[in-house]
Structure 1
């Protein structure tokens, strides 16, 4: 595909989006009926603001979901310290909750507009951002083109490209180049990610490391933690967290395989999507297991086999209940989930082989002895059994994981340095406005 055809494709994308705009209401309404949209704030998805724009310089941050939101919180906090206003958009209800919990009224939260010209234009007409900062891998053609047309500098931070995404973009190299030429800067997570962005035409590209390393460990309600710890007592535990379809049953099968050796074993299963919990509880119960659901307040009794962590925002609680964690989306699904939170909380990390989206992080943990890759269910059962029975080996993994996280810190400082040429003029503008207002 030539450059001319790439630009023609993007023009067609623009017109198709404008034509489809009147018909997307049904789609958004369906998502709202499934709890995937905030019913009372659906208009924000069409770019209709629910807040007034404050006077002075303003930066638009976008983070798609929970993980990206948590990653940019320290970056946003640093920028708020300069007196610059921030509008943060996210794409999910749960990420909006995280934004409220972590940042509260210090920022303006909006749901991200649909990547259709009328919605994006309405959003930009109201907010007039001086700078757009996008987290990780959110590459929306219409949004990028509209920002470019308005000459708003846009920067991708904590940027990453999975194997699948890179392969897909390489097939459309001219389209990628036509989009990435609108980027003022790409700050990539790893050298591999940096090379991939450069191959797709991004300039300039710097490497910061992973912003998620510089976040605080996920919090836990101390009262709830103490109550559950009392219910568990001295029972041995292990956890399967951020699990996807098939991995919960696998974890239950591992439990069944190990409970004869560890008679009071408690297995903690935390599905990535808690809306699957009711069906999972039925499935696990049918396997002859006694299941306690966190969301319904079930007590953990000596007969409880599985604690089903089917709540949002309590990963910090679940990880503090164990010293061994299998991180999901790595055995029956592909890409993996971030192992940093378990490592931060002194947990021995296990995962399947499909961790391509976090390859660099896993490699560092494995090299230092903080994580282990398991091939299948039986190998997972063997690893959990070994760690439950060998306190020294378990604690060596825990210590190595925490040390690796400490070694990886520094991404926030490197990202702020890359952003300095774009943020400094806004700091000056903010201070001049403040001086003029006195």
Structure 2
């Protein structure tokens, strides 16, 4: 059987299966709503029902899965808006947190009234068709590994140029596509322009079937420091009253016990030290706080002098908390969690000393760029050994933060080059 025929058959099979599963997916959306993973606004949009009309003129559609991808896209959005005063940008996300961070960042962006934020439709043929028929994008771009067979096929059927930005394909992902390799090849071959995150990702994408890779770069290299409100930072510093502080950022389930144990060890040497724990998924805040008897920022609670842990389970405040310049341990990297890491360039750009666990497969290139600007830790004693000298000496903390920042300065031209490449795919 030819690869083309195989891909077409698997695509048809996925088309039929996802159609049959549509009622179950609607029920699952309601369940996710009850757990806080969807919102009332997201439910119709996940079925392709738009919340507003399409604006006239050129429309570029960008889709990001969640928070990290959305933040990385913002410099490209700014460059697109700057390219033409008549252009609109539709940005879709796949999570409530991604949508929230987009709404939080847009007011500071010039031309933000020409940005439309929506939730992406699930990969049900009728829902995707409804989405595309309403918005009629002139150009589209998916970020990283958002490969949805029905949606990609629908874009191709409408002759809509589609790009893949920051294309990511791990060895594990490529292996998982083995039984549907011809479907993967069919999808990847339809992209009009591909930007691979790294040379390794480019090789895997080419092996999977991508036929045109025009740029190898990491979209996150273009991101500026995360924004914060100076007045809010002054208020936060006043609240902390000069206490030595460190941050466990974007933590995942399975890491909390290690972080809490490290906090205890640190306080044996630095008694007034405070650990700020920021769960990647804010809904975990209540559970962590209950197990650790810690105050929660989401409830307006602040740490008393005797509290060694503060759960900051709010949205849109990472930039504020990183602006403290305190040592930062990046989550989703310690033994016990799913692993993969998070972007170390974000704390580094805020001049924070940076540490991480060893499980960084999703951000290996960013960590390689950091060189000696990052410290790797695994156990509570490892973390405490890294932290104590930094918390005892503001000068040592400042030097380590400055060293991390030197490795993380943003690429000022990357976002402009990506925007120009996307616009070149559209109508002349």
Q: TM-score by structure 2 length?
A: 0.92
1:295 and 2:271 matched: no
Matched residue count: 418
Q: Which runs of 5+ in 1 are unaligned?
A: 286-290, 429-438
- Confirm whether residue 272 of structure 1 aligns to residue 280 of structure 2: yes
The answer to whether 1:358 aligns with 2:363 is yes
Q: Are residues 1:106 and 2:111 paired? A: no
Tell me by how many angstroms 1:247 deviates: 1.6
- Per-residue deviation, 1:250: 1.3
Question: How far off its partner does 1:135 sit?
Answer: 1.3
Equivalences for residues 56-135 of structure 1 within 5 A: 56-81=57-82, 82=84, 83-103=86-106, 104-135=112-143
Note the C-alpha offset of 1:154: 0.4
Quote how far apart the aligned CAs of 1:393 are.
4.5
1:164 matched to which residue of 2? Answer: 172
Cα deviation for residue 191 of structure 1 reads: 1.5
1:272-291 deviation per Cα after TM superposition (whole angstroms, max 9, x unaligned): 11111111111112xxxxx2
Say whether 1:338 aligns with 2:339.
no
Deviations 1:38-69 (A, max 9, x none): 21442111112221112222121111111111
Distance (whole Å) between structure 2 residues aligned to residue 401 and residue 408 of structure 1: 16
SS across alignment from 2:225: coil
Change (3 A) 1:409 1:384: farther
Distance apart, 1:34 and its partner CA: 1.8
Residue ranges of structure 2 left out of the alignment (5+ in a row): 107-111
**Which residue number in structure 2 is paired with residue 193 of structure 1?**
201
User: For 1:145, which of 127, 131, 153 is the aligned residue?
Assistant: 153
Shift of residue 93, structure 1, vs aligned partner: 1.7
* Alignment counterpart, residue 406 of structure 2, candidates 384, 403, 407: 403
TM-score (normalised: structure 1): 0.90
CA contact (8 A) 1:248 1:271 kept: no
CA distance in 1, matches of 2:214, 2:400: 32
SS of alignment partner, residue 353 of structure 1: coil
Aligned to 2:109: none
**Cα distance in 2 for residues equivalent to 1:247 and 1:316:** 22
C-alpha contact (below 8 Å) 1:206/1:418 kept by paired residues: no
DSSP-derived class of the 1:301 partner: coil
Rounded Cα–Cα distance in structure 2 between residues aligned with 1:124 and 1:397: 48
- 1: CA distance, partners of 2:412 / 2:340: 23
Distance 1:390 1:228 in 2: 21
Match of 1:250 among 252, 258, 272: 258
Partner of 1:304: 307
Shift of 1:417: 4.6
Q: CA deviation at 1:253?
A: 0.7
Q: Is the 8 A contact 1:65 1:92 kept in 2?
A: yes
Per-residue deviation, 1:390: 5.0
The alpha-carbon distance between structure 1 residues 30 and 407, as it changes in their structure 2 partners (threshold 3 A), is closer
